[in-house]
Amino acid sequence: MEFRHEFVQETFSLLQRRLLHFVYFIGGFWLVTTCLEWFVRIRFVVNDHDDAKPFSLLTWIGVNDLLLALGFIGAWHIARRRSTTNRQAELASIGLVALYGVHLIVSQYDLQSPYEIAWLMFAALHLLSSIHFPWTTYQAIVPIFVFVLVRFVYNLTDTDTPLSVDALAAVFGMLIGAPGIIVCSVQHEWRERNFGYKQLSSRYGMLRSELASARRIHEALFPQPCVDGPIRLTYQYEPMRHIGGDYLHVDRHQREDGSEYLSVVVLDVTGHGVPAALTVNRLHGEVELLFADQPDASPGQVLSALNRYIHLTLAKHSIYATALCMRVDTSRNVIEWASGGHPPAFLTGVDGTIEDVPPTTFVLGACRAEDFEPNESSLPFHPGDRVLAYTDGAIEARKEDGMMLRISGLRSWIAAERPSPGEWPNQLLTAIATYRGGSPIEDDTLFVEVFRPLGYQIKGKADATDDEQTTT
C-alpha cells in the first residue's frame, strides 16, 4: 500500500489514544470489581478460619492483582509518554490483554471456579480489545496464544486429565479468539483502504492546486498578443492536461523609419503534462537568452541554437522538439522561416490563395550542431496576408469513430472559412472541439496567427509621402 509511513503514524497515534481509553475504562471496571471481590473475601472467607490460608490470601489480594495493577499503570505511562514508540505502544496493548488473560486463569485456579468461566471472560475481553485497538491479524493472535499456553501449563498440574486431552483443549481453545481475529482482519483492511482513499483525495486536491499554480506560471511564459502596429499576432492554447509542452515566443523590434520586424518561435516538445512543461521552462530560458544576445537573429540561427541546446541537454533523455521559427520584416515585405520537423504552416494571401510553409529540416536534437542545416527560406508577405501556425494536437484531433483530422482536413477548413483578422485561432480551436465531439484531447493544441492589417500606414513612409506632395 502507498503512504505506508503516513498510515503507520496514524495507526500509532490512534493506538496510543485507545490504549489510554482502555486503561481508564477496563482498568476502572477491574478496580471496582476487584475491590468488591476483596470485600466479599475478607467479609465471608477470611473470617471463616476453616478455609482461610495465609498463602491463598496473599495470592487473592496480593501477587495476582498487584501484577495486573502494575500492568495497567505501565500501559497508562506508555500511552501518555510523548517519547513512546510505535513498537512500545503495540507491546503495551498486546501485553496488557495477555496479562489480563493470565490474571483470569490464576483467579479461576485459586478460586476453583468452573473451567469455562475464564475462557468465556477472556473471549469477551479479546473481542472487545480487537474492536477497540487498531490491531493487525497477527497482533490479535498473540494474546490468544499466550492465554492458551498459560492455560495448558496450568492444566498440566491437573493429574486427573490426560496430556492428550489438555493438548486438544489448547488447540480448540484457540478458537475462542476467532471472532476477534476476524474483526481485526476486516477492520485493518477497511482502515488501510479508507486511509488510502483519504490520502489520495487529499493528495489529488493538493496536486490540483499545485497544477493550477503551475499553469499560471506556465502561461506567464507566453507573450501578450500583438494587437497594434504593422504586424499583429493572436493565439489560442489548449493543453492536454493542466500544463503542456507547447510554447510560443515573440520578439518585436521597431526601426527608426517606422517599419518593424517580428520574430516568432513556435515549439512543441515531445511528451505531455508536467515533464513536457518542465522542458518548455528550460527552453524558454534559452530562447530568452538567445534574443537578448542577438535581437536580430535570423530564423535559421535561432533554429540552429535550439537544436544544439536540445541535442546537448535533452536528447540524452530521449526528449526532442519540433520548432517553427519565423521573422516578418515589413521593410522588405517578406516572411523568413526555418522549421525543424514542425507541421507545415499556411500562408493565406489577401486574394485567398493558400501556400504551405513546410519544414526545412528535421526534428531538433536528432543530430549534432555541426551536422545541422536549418535551410532557411522566405516568401513574400504583404499587407492583408496572414500565416497560421499550429502544433500537432490540431491535426491529430479525432472524431468519436477514430477518424483523424490530418493536415488536409485543416487546410480544407482554412480554405472554406474567411474570419476577420485575428479570429483564426479562436475559431479553429472551437471547430476542433466540435470535431472531437466527446472524445478526449490527445495532445496539446496551439494556434498562432500572424497577419498584416490592410490600410495600416507606416509613420515614416507616410511623412515622406506628405513632404513629397508639399514640395510638388
pLDDT band at 195 (very low <50, low <70, confident <90, very high): confident
Domain end among 166, 201, 236: 201
Both 272 and 370 in one domain: the answer is: yes
282: in domain: yes
pLDDT band at 152 (very low <50, low <70, confident <90, very high): confident
214: in domain: no
Q: What are phi and psi of 137, to 5 degrees?
A: -60, -45
Domain residues for 196?
4-201
216: in domain: no
149-156, long-range: CB within 8 Å, 24+ apart, which pairs?
150/101, 150/102, 150/105, 151/105, 151/118, 151/119, 154/105, 154/109
215: in domain: no
pLDDT in tens, 322-373: 999 999 999 999 999 999 999 999 999 988 899 999 999 999 999 999 999 9
469: in domain: no
pLDDT in tens, 30-80: 888 888 877 776 666 555 544 444 444 444 456 778 888 999 999 999 999
Both 393 and 251 in one domain: the answer is: yes
Both 197 and 227 in one domain: the answer is: no
Both 63 and 132 in one domain: the answer is: yes
pLDDT of 62 reads 62
pLDDT band at 6 (very low <50, low <70, confident <90, very high): confident
Both 162 and 241 in one domain: the answer is: no
> Going by DSSP bridges, is the β-strand pair 445-451/386-390 parallel, antiparallel, or unpaired?
antiparallel
pLDDT of 59 reads 45
User: Cα–chain-centroid distance for residue 400?
Assistant: 29
Both 55 and 188 in one domain: the answer is: yes
All 3 cell numbers of residue 50? 476453616
Both 283 and 192 in one domain: the answer is: no
Q: Within 10 A of 50 (CB to CB), how many other CB atoms are there?
A: 5
Query: What is the full DSSP assignment across 126-153?
Result: HHHHHHHS---HHHHHHHHHHHHHHHHH
Domain count for the chain: 2
Q: What are phi and psi of 256, to 5 degrees?
A: -65, -30
430: in domain: yes
207: in domain: no
User: Cα–chain-centroid distance for residue 221?
Assistant: 24
User: Cα–chain-centroid distance for residue 399?
Assistant: 30
pLDDT band at 229 (very low <50, low <70, confident <90, very high): confident
CB 339 within 8 A of CB 359: yes
- Comparing 84-93, 119-128, 218-227, 249-258, the range with the smallest average pLDDT is 249-258
Average pLDDT, the chain: 84
CATH code of the domain covering residue 406: 3.60.40.10
Q: Where are the alpha helices (DSSP H) in 157-177?
A: 163-173
Q: What are phi and psi of 290, to 5 degrees?
A: -60, -45
Both 168 and 19 in one domain: the answer is: yes
Q: What percent of the chain has pLDDT over 90?
A: 48
Both 167 and 269 in one domain: the answer is: no
pTM assigned to the model: 0.65
Both 178 and 235 in one domain: the answer is: no
CB 81 within 8 A of CB 123: no
Both 86 and 168 in one domain: the answer is: yes
- Comparing 55-64, 199-208, 270-279, 418-427, the range with the smallest average pLDDT is 55-64
All 3 cell numbers of residue 93? 496493548
Both 287 and 413 in one domain: the answer is: yes
Q: Is the pLDDT of residue 423 over 60?
A: yes
Max mean pLDDT among 110-124, 149-163, 168-182, 376-390 falls in 376-390
82: in domain: yes
